[in-house]
């Protein structure tokens, strides 16, 4: 399959890349990992006239902790997350997800930023970032703005990104003590997109009750879903079976999946409930220091 | 339409080409550089037949543009053997019957090499995850896992 013709640009700085986006507007697309964009171009679902390849911009491949915030640069690949000690020790929820995204070869290219910017509810990072209360830094012609991830996903394949903006950094608050997270994904076979998946992050208080919880759903509606009703319900509660089950009900109620070749909607909804229960349980175990 | 002069190092040798921006890397390698050991299976980023090493990491060359490889080092199956001596990975596939038709094998070996460079002593389970982006329609994978284990042992013993 041969993509349509395009002009290829290799800016060496963010400002040069933004200038190209300003010049070409809707005709231009950022290329980072290219593992969503290139397949779409081969199928001619996407036919951008200008490709702005940001891979040559130096200094965007950092994973670092700064002022209580984890910062992930735009060119961090899935495989970088998989092999990061900081992620393994502080963000098992991200490590869980990274390992289940596509396959090791795709993960050597695919970026976290691209995974979010694509706006695909089937992608795994959106739900994880919703559970973690992340923010994204968008850099464009009028400077930088910081958008909470809960306001980033607008519709299917549509985000808050303006045509001249680049997602330059993901920011995640470092979890307080007694926190843990987990990502549970049901897939037909290794490397596939999720039938559905659930991300859960919890922080326990001194008595072992839930101080706060974050829950995100993958492939359960036209956009990634933050289950605010379950998050509010869990605050202050002991995470016993009845409470987890009710949180599962609230997640199921918040989900709005469609039937497709992967599974019927009824099955997906039932699985949203079960995976919510399991992800919360594992998150709580990890918050207590387990694995 | 833009065309670009690009230079890559293919298996240690500098090669150049004049390419359209939309030319896929796998087509550049096969049709322009005439290194046809790298295969095209699915053309949809699923099968791994097109796996090459790009600057030391295994990737699917059907999902990159040739222009993206400008200035990079590429290793393909043709670059595994040195001075007429097969690489331990190739030896493993020969000794352990790791192939039948051989179509998946070049990609499989490069994915395995990428795995072993990061994890020189993988468990059978880790090998299966490591080659999960590469499909084989013939072997049932059992002997591929053995081949990679053979290579790991040989490489650990200094076989490269
Ligand atoms: C076989 C296969 C299986 C896959 N399985 C999974 C899976 O199980 N789970 C999963 O989550 N994903 C999966 N993916 C998708 C993969 O993770 C994508 O690569 C990822 O979603 C997009 O990241 P990218 O860096 O490749 O982005 P690209 O393909 O480069 O870009 C995607 C879109 O985002 C835009 N964009 C990219 N980066 C930026 C940026 N920094 N700022 C603004 N806009 C930007 C692009 O213009 C484009 O519109 C799979 C892909 C393949 C090929
Ligand atoms: S041909 Fe590239 S993955 Fe199948
Ligand atoms: S040996 Fe035939 S596809 Fe693997």
Mean pLDDT by runs of 10 across the 160 residues of chain B is 91 98 98 98 98 98 98 98 96 98 98 97 98 98 98 88
Domain boundaries, chain A: 7-53, 63-173, 179-285
Say whether residue B141 is in contact with chain A using an 8 A CB cutoff.
no
> What is the distance between the alpha carbons of residues B114 and B107, in angstroms, rounded to a whole number?
11
- CA–CA min distance A5, chain B (Å): 6
What's the confidence (pLDDT) of residue A291?
Answer: 66
The preferred substitution site among B39, B139, B143, B147 for testing ligand 3, maximizing ligand atoms within 8 Å of CB, is B139
The residue of chain B nearest to residue A82, with distances taken between CA atoms, is B118
The preferred substitution site among B49, B136, B141, B144 for testing ligand 3, maximizing ligand atoms within 8 Å of CB, is B136
Residue B62 CB less than 6 A away from ligand 2:
yes
Residue of A7, A31, A11 whose CA lies nearest to A19: A11
Q: Which two tokens stand for residue A46?
A: 């996407």
Report which ligand 2 atom has the smallest distance to the Cα of B60.
Answer: 2
- Measured in residues, chain B has a length of 160
Residue where the block lists tokens 């605010």: A228
CA of A53 relative to ligand 2 center, distance in Å = 22
> What is the distance between the alpha carbons of residues B120 and A146, in angstroms, rounded to a whole number?
42
Which CATH class, in words, describes the domain spanning B88-156? mainly alpha
The residue of chain B nearest to residue A190, with distances taken between CA atoms, is B132
Say whether residue B60 is in contact with chain A using an 8 A CB cutoff.
yes
Residues of A in contact with B1 (CB under 8 A): 5-7
CA of A24 relative to ligand 1 center, distance in Å = 21
> What is the distance between the alpha carbons of residues A280 and A272, in angstroms, rounded to a whole number?
12
Of B21, B67, B132, the CB nearest to A191: B132
> What is the distance between the alpha carbons of residues A118 and B19, in angstroms, rounded to a whole number?
28
| Contact predicate A75/A55, CB 8 Å | yes
CA of A26 relative to ligand 3 center, distance in Å = 43
Assigned CATH for A179-285? 3.30.390.50
Residue where the block lists tokens 């595994």: B80
Interface of B with A in 65-124 (CB under 8 A): 65, 67-68, 111, 114-115, 118
| Contact predicate A215/A148, CB 8 Å | no
Report which ligand 1 atom has the smallest distance to the Cα of A218.
Answer: 11
* pLDDT of residue A268 exceeding 60: yes
CA of A149 relative to ligand 2 center, distance in Å = 33
Domain limits, CATH 3.10.20.30, in chain B: 3-79
Give backbone dihedrals phi and psi of A225, rounded to 5 degrees, phi first.
-115, 130
Q: Give domain B3-79's CATH number out of 3.40.190.10, 3.10.20.30, 3.60.20.10, 1.25.40.20.
A: 3.10.20.30
What are the b/e assignments for A104-129, b being 16+ CB within 10 Å? bbbbbbbbbbbbbbbbbbbbbbbbbb
Assigned CATH for A63-173? 3.30.465.10
Residues of A in contact with B63 (CB under 8 A): 34-35, 38-39, 106, 109
* pLDDT of residue A197 exceeding 80: yes
pLDDT tens digits, residue range A99-134?
999 999 999 999 999 999 999 999 999 999 999 999
Residue B47 CB less than 6 A away from ligand 2:
yes
| Average pLDDT of chain A to the nearest whole number | 97
CA of A241 relative to ligand 1 center, distance in Å = 37
Residues of B in contact with A109 (CB under 8 A): 59, 63-64
Residue of A51, A53, A75, A50 whose CA lies nearest to A62: A75
CB contact under 8 A, B64 and A34: yes
**Of the ligands numbered here, which is closest to the C-alpha atom of A152?**
1
Interface of A with B in 85-124 (CB under 8 A): 99, 102-106, 108-109
> What is the distance between the alpha carbons of residues B11 and A33, in angstroms, rounded to a whole number?
24
Which CATH class, in words, describes the domain spanning A7-53? alpha beta
Distances (CA, A) of A148 to A115, A128, A153, A173, B142: 16, 13, 10, 12, 47
CA of A35 relative to ligand 1 center, distance in Å = 5
Report residue A290's pLDDT band, with 50, 70 and 90 as the boundaries.
confident
Domain limits, CATH 1.10.150.120, in chain B: 88-156
Number of Cα atoms under 13 Å in the Cβ half of residue A249: 8
The preferred substitution site among A13, A33, A101, A114 for testing ligand 1, maximizing ligand atoms within 8 Å of CB, is A114
CB contact under 8 A, B1 and A51: no
- β strands within chain B, DSSP E: 3-10, 13-20, 51-54, 57-60, 73-75
Report residue A93's pLDDT band, with 50, 70 and 90 as the boundaries.
very high
What's the confidence (pLDDT) of residue A32?
Answer: 98
Report how far apart the first and last C-alpha atoms of chain B are (Å, whole number): 45
> What is the distance between the alpha carbons of residues B46 and A270, in angstroms, rounded to a whole number?
29
What's the confidence (pLDDT) of residue B2?
Answer: 74
Q: Do the domains at A63-173 and A179-285 have one common CATH topology?
A: no
What's the confidence (pLDDT) of residue B160?
Answer: 56
What's the confidence (pLDDT) of residue B158?
Answer: 84
- Please, which residues have CB within 8 angstroms of residue A226's CB and are 6 or more apart in sequence? A130, A131, A150, A214, A215, A216, A217
């Amino acid at each position: 399959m041969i993509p349509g013709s395009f002009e290829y640009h290799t800016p060496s700085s963010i400002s040069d890349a933004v200038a190209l986006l300003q010049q070409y507007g809707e005709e231009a697309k950022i290329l980072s990992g290219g593992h969503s964009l290139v397949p779409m171009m081969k199928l001619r679902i996407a036919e951008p006239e200008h490709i702005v390849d940001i891979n040559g911009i130096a200094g965007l491949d950092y994973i670092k902790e700064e002022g209580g915030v984890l910062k992930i640069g735009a060119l961090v690949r899935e495989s970088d997350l998989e092999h990061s000690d900081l992620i393994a020790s502080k963000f098992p929820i991200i490590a869980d997800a990274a390992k289940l995204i596509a396959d090791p070869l795709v993960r050597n290219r695919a970026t976290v930023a691209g995974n979010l910017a694509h706006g695909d509810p089937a992608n795994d990072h959106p739900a994880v970032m919703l559970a973690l209360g992340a923010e994204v830094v968008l850099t464009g012609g009028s400077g930088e703005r910081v958008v909470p991830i809960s306001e980033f996903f607008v519709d299917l394949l549509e985000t808050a990104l303006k045509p001249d903006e680049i997602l330059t950094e993901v920011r995640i608050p470092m979890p307080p003590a007694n926190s843990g997270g987990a990502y549970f994904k049901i897939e037909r076979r290794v490397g596939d997109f999720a039938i559905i998946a659930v991300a859960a992050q919890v922080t326990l208080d001194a008595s072992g009750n839930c101080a706060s919880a974050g829950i995100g759903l993958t492939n359960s509606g036209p956009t990634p879903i933050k289950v605010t009703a379950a998050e509010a319900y869990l605050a202050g509660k002991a995470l016993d079976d009845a409470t987890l089950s009710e949180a599962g009900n609230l997640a199921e109620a918040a989900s709005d999946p469609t039937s497709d070749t992967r599974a019927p909607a009824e099955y997906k909804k039932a699985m949203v409930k079960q995976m919510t229960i399991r992800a919360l349980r594992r998150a709580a175990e990890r918050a207590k220091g387990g694995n | 339409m833009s065309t670009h002069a690009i230079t890559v190092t293919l298996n240690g040798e500098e090669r150049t080409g004049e390419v359209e921006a939309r030319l896929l890397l796998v087509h550049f390698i096969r049709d322009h550089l005439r290194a046809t050991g790298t295969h095209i299976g699915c053309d949809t980023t699923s099968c791994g037949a097109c796996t090459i090493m790009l600057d030391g990491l295994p990737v699917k060359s059907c999902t990159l543009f040739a222009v993206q490889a400008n200035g990079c080092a590429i290793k393909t199956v043709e670059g595994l053997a040195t001075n007429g001596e097969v690489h331990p990975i190739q030896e493993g596939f020969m000794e352990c019957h790791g192939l039948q038709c051989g179509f998946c094998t070049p990609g499989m070996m490069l994915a395995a090499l990428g795995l072993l460079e990061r994890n020189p002593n993988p468990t059978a389970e880790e090998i299966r995850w490591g080659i999960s982006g590469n499909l084989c329609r013939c072997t049932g994978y059992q002997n591929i896992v053995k081949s990679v284990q053979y290579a790991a042992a040989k490489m650990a013993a200094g076989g490269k």
